[in-house]
Structure 1
Amino acid sequence: MSGSSSAGIAKPVACTLITWLHFFGADFFKGPDMSASTESVLDVPFPSRSVASDAIYHQVDLLLASSHFRNSKRHQRLLTFLTQKHIDGDMQSLKERVIGIEVFDRKPTYDLTLDPIVRGAMADLRKRLALYYSESPHSSELRIEIPVGSYVPHIHWPELEDGNTSSEIAVAKAKLVLEATPLPVETSGGTTIPAVDRRLTVRRYLLAAVVACICAAAIFFMYRMSETQRQNRDLASFWKPLWNSENEILICAGTLNGIMHEPVVENDTWNHVTRTRNHLDPNVGAALVSVSSLLGAQGKHPYMRIADTTTLPDLRRQPSILIGGFNNQWTVRVQSNMRYRISRLIPDVSGVVDTKNGDASLGTFDFSAPVNSITKSYAIITRLNDPLTGQYVLSLAGLGSYGNSSAAEFVTTPAYFALFAKQAPKGWESHNIQVVIETSLVEGKTSPPKVIAFELD
């Protein structure tokens, strides 16, 4: 795709991403905040570290002597261990597995999932601390708290309450918060992740996946739209010289020239049956319908003449579309000065030849072959500014069954014409053009055309 096309896609995609980021918030793609689990938290304004440590030891003694701790050796050991490691700055020991081994005498290989003793004890420790500080005699003491999702103590002086909240309400709130908060889980790498953060992380990943899918779908949809628009522009550029004419467009259709081809039942070969008047080739008729429909969609109203009744003055009055190969003498005249042309090679066999390559054949058609043995048809599409008529001419010259109708489909279907436009050099629109296509036949139905050669003059 061109740079302008890429920019056209990038802009709406960027807008889509910005919209989604705004909707979910800037924190949407952030992982769990583990800062509380890896850094020491000490918010105590003491003149020195030793003085601060003494104050912490004193506060731990007060806690252990209280009714909330003095009857629980397990919680005494746990609180002492956490505060001591905090004072020592040993943050690596404040992890679930280490606590289980050092405080609760678990083996180093114990299963954290099957044995949640540390998480259970931590939940109970938080409740005991909350209940202790909810009592008015202790409201102004140095606070030791263990934030949910972390095993690192947070130590700070309390902020005095305004008196509007009773100790009973404070206790109830503490119980509600602590009981409703999921316990943390230690990962295989030893990192402690709160359960609530794990759920948030999963939700973030799910939402990120949804956003990624929506963005991918938007990019694909906009690419398809851009590709379709480009194909439509290329086809319009091909037709532009004819569409821009103020005169009506003449469609000159080939005939059977007094001969009607009918299959003989015995051997299913083409048998020539002489007629007394011209007949429109059904293959030419199908091409006529395709071309007329496209012109009608552009507000053009073409008129048609049979090739045998068309004269040179007719072709000089307006642009023309020539449909047919050997059965249209005007097609033969147009191709006479072009690189690619249809030519009779031997009796009953014709082919598309390259006059710049020693009349090498690009494909042949045997008119004497059984109908069900024919697998290929060919066509030459020629668009040129005809020096003889002074008008633009579009020639659709088919060779073999369905050749003319395949040529018409090629110049009226954007996706088919794109097969040429993608290969053509920049500026092809201003040149005389020849395109040779090949179509396969399977059980009487044509496959999409394939470009086998083209020439710009």
Structure 2
Amino acid sequence: MSGNIEDLKERRIGADVFDRPVDYDTNSDHIVRSVAGEVRRRLGQYYAQSGTDSEMRIDLLAGSYVPQFRMVGEQPVPAAAAALPAVAMETKARTWGWWPPAVVLAICTVALVVWIASRAGGRATALEGFWKPLYSASTPVLLCVPGGGSGPNATEVQEPGTVIDFALAPSRRIHVYDAMVLAEVTGLLRANGKAYRLLNRAGATSFRDLQSGPFVLIGSLNNEWSLRLTKDFRFSIVSNGSGARVVDKQDPSNEAWRVEPNTPIEQMRRDYAIVSRFRDSQTEQTAVILAGIGPWGSLASGEFVTNPEYLKKLAGFVPANWRKRNLQVVISTDVIHGSSGPPNILAAQLF
């Protein structure tokens, strides 16, 4: 209405209306085109009804996201010409003063269609908002799980030659809780039609692997890449001879988020984890890191990022635009007789 039609571009609408990242792939994510087609269909249905012949018409031509308002008998301006501000301003000057109830109803109908589609397409749940940068990537998601050595420089061992030895080789072992996190993440990706590939040896993951597309790193002290990529963030996990803890660089004296490795299982009360989602400047890829101090923390981090009921609680800790920002969340989970409870948010940071 203000004549700023140069802003009505697919990518801008996707970011502002449907909460997509500003650099999302419009080739693979066609939400704007789909909703525009639905708006055109609804307008056509409305004007096909009897009693609308004398009403002002709203056109949304194919190939354009600029609505046109015209009187009955006038022809819509071709899409290319409609992109010119002068035409839009002229149309506005002719039609701004007269808004019959039927036209208002038509506009409200269009607005309702867009609102419903935006809720379904981008703002329905925090779950989709968290994972959308990975869904919209054109390449598969790399899943990196610790097993058989944890560091990037871990020594490659010669695989045994027999079938049974191969199956029982240390390089093939994954902690059961890490496997549970992996199952939750792969189930979510599969349900959303997102391809993925798996590396079950964190120590064999190369920098080139991480450059190939978005990636998810599971684990912390047993996944050197998790520690390396988050060491300069506000929240990180550090360990020494007496234990491991989540360090808050804004409150480095805080020792509360700590786990002692020699604690008997029956006396273990709480574990901690850091969930990070960010655009990594080194690999130029979107990264999700699920880093628990202990196995219960890792399991809780997997539950947190795959359950919309947990993710929606972020609203109490960070601004509403967190979907488009780099994010860190510190969570805890109560441990009772060796079993973990639901994740609880302790702190969060956008950057």
Q: TM-score range by the shorter chain?
A: 0.5 to 0.7
SS at match of 1:357: coil
Across the two proteins, how many residue pairs are aligned to each other?
214
Q: CA deviation at 1:361?
A: 2.9
Q: CA deviation at 1:366?
A: 1.0
Are the aligned partners of 2:300 and 2:341 in contact in 1 as well (CA < 8 Å)? no
Candidates 304, 322, 331, aligned match of 1:437: 331
Map 1:321-336 to 2 at 5 A: 321-336=216-231
Change (3 A) 1:445 1:383: same
SS at match of 2:232: coil
SS at match of 1:427: helix
Candidates 120, 140, 143, aligned match of 1:251: 143
Give me the whole-angstrom Cα distance separating, in 1, the residues matched to 2:237 and 2:258.
9
SS at match of 2:130: helix
Structure 1 vs Structure 2 CA RMSD: 2.3
SS at match of 1:452: strand
User: What residue identity is the alignment partner of 1:313?
Assistant: R
Give me the whole-angstrom Cα distance separating, in 2, the residues matched to 1:401 and 1:283.
6
What is the match of residue 318 of structure 1?
213
Runs of 4+ in 1 over 4 A off after TM superposition: 227-232
Q: CA deviation at 1:423?
A: 2.7
User: Are 1:238 and 2:133 matched, yes or no?
Assistant: no
What is the match of residue 115 of structure 2?
none
Q: CA deviation at 1:446?
A: 2.0
What is the match of residue 283 of structure 2?
389
Give me the whole-angstrom Cα distance separating, in 2, the residues matched to 1:364 and 1:298.
36
Are the aligned partners of 1:383 and 1:434 in contact in 2 as well (CA < 8 Å)? yes
User: What residue identity is the alignment partner of 2:125?
Assistant: R
SS at match of 1:356: coil
Give me the whole-angstrom Cα distance separating, in 2, the residues matched to 1:389 and 1:410.
25
User: What residue identity is the alignment partner of 1:296?
Assistant: R
Q: CA deviation at 1:442?
A: 1.8
SS at match of 1:402: helix
SS at match of 2:220: coil
User: What residue identity is the alignment partner of 2:251?
Assistant: N
Map 1:41-440 to 2 at 5 A: 232-255=124-147, 257=149, 277-278=170-171, 279-305=173-199, 306-344=201-239, 346-358=240-252, 360-440=254-334
Are the aligned partners of 1:434 and 1:456 in contact in 2 as well (CA < 8 Å)? yes
Are the aligned partners of 2:276 and 2:329 in contact in 1 as well (CA < 8 Å)? yes
User: What residue identity is the alignment partner of 2:206?
Assistant: T
Q: CA deviation at 1:235?
A: 1.4
User: What residue identity is the alignment partner of 2:170?
Assistant: R
TM-score scaled to structure 1, two decimals? Answer: 0.44
Change (3 A) 1:373 1:401: farther
Q: CA deviation at 1:403?
A: 1.2
SS at match of 2:182: helix
List alignment gaps of at least 5 residues for structure 1.
1-226, 259-274
- Per-residue CA distance 1:240-274 (angstroms, 9 max, x = gap): 1111001000001112638xxxxxxxxxxxxxxxx
Give me the whole-angstrom Cα distance separating, in 2, the residues matched to 1:321 and 1:230.
22
TM-score scaled to structure 2, two decimals? Answer: 0.57
What is the match of residue 93 of structure 1?
none
What is the match of residue 348 of structure 2?
454
Give me the whole-angstrom Cα distance separating, in 1, the residues matched to 2:176 and 2:126.
29
Greater mean deviation of Cα atoms: 276-285 or 400-409: 276-285
Give me the whole-angstrom Cα distance separating, in 2, the residues matched to 1:231 and 1:237.
7
- Per-residue CA distance 1:350-383 (angstroms, 9 max, x = gap): 1111012235334111111111110101110000
Change (3 A) 1:231 1:370: farther
SS at match of 2:301: helix
Tell me which of the two structures has the higher relative contact order, counting C-alpha pairs closer than 8 angstroms and 6 or more residues apart: 2
Q: CA deviation at 1:302?
A: 1.1
Change (3 A) 1:368 1:233: same
User: What residue identity is the alignment partner of 1:294?
Assistant: L
* Identity over aligned pairs, percent: 30
Change (3 A) 1:303 1:440: same
User: What residue identity is the alignment partner of 2:227?
Assistant: V
User: What residue identity is the alignment partner of 1:252?
Assistant: C
Structure 1 or 2: larger helix share? 1
Change (3 A) 1:449 1:232: farther
User: What residue identity is the alignment partner of 1:248?
Assistant: P
